[in-house]
Amino acid sequence: MAQSFAHGNYSHTQKKARGGGGRTGRDQARRTLSQNFVVDPDAVARIVEATGPHDLVLEPGAGEGVLTRALAETCGQVVGYEVDPLLAGRLAARTRDDARIRVVRGDFLAARAPREPFAVAGNIPYSITSKIVDWCLRAPGLTSATLTTQLEYARKRTGDFGRWSMLTVQTWPWYSWELLGHLSREVFRPVPAVDSAILRIERRSQAPDLPGYRAFVEYGFTGLGGSLHATMRLRYPADRVDAAFAAAGVARGTVVAHVHPDLWPVLFDRLHHTG
């Protein structure tokens, strides 16, 4: 399911309704619940391929179950969460004889993360993209999340604009962020106002111990000094800052969002190393 939280859901159906036809109850439900479904088989196949095989997959916003059933062909078990009781009931009825699929009638964000390793995959409601991503990043057992998001969101999180977001930098030592391709708005019904993308977040095999790193990044992104170098010199000794930036290969005038996430742990280590 997908909706543009920045521009609203301007589907063909809703445009017609505003033109004088009036909305049906289902139209209103789709708007309220951010319901735009992937209907193109090639797009579904691309999402499944990007997800890969897993023993357990949680799917936020299972909707009509097109992606749910496709994921079940490559994964051991798929647990589909659907907050719309009508859609959840239909999907549960259609898949009641398929042991690979379990449908949960409720909000994915209220779900308790499994203790065992699991993946998340789904065509998520765009109005709660950030909340779903935050849920995934907090789950200790998460191995990866493969999500359809607004193209702009995916580009922002993966550095595709040539800039890096604070969330990406804060989580980079533990998670990789990758844009795995665009999805035209035409593969959805109703058709949303913006194009989409497949965003892949994957937990790294090695988890470094970096206490204080997230707060360090948050301070760096305050931009108090203009450049990152100037900001850090407001908090740390000038000679140590100069040495850290030289070791990381970061020019002193570099704007904070242009510093690659790989370089932040180097800066952190150099600025906090007291030996």
The binding site for S-adenosyl-L-methionine comprises: 36, 38, 61, 82, 107, 123
Distance of alpha carbon 102 from alpha carbon 115, whole angstroms: 17
Distance of alpha carbon 136 from alpha carbon 85, whole angstroms: 24
Which tokens go with 173? 């030592």
CB < 8 Å & 24+ apart, contacts of 48-53: 48/73, 48/74, 48/121, 50/146, 50/180, 50/181, 50/198, 50/200, 51/75, 51/119, 51/121, 51/144, 51/146, 52/119, 52/144, 52/146
Distance of alpha carbon 245 from alpha carbon 197, whole angstroms: 34
Q: Binding site, residues?
A: 36, 38, 61, 82, 107, 123
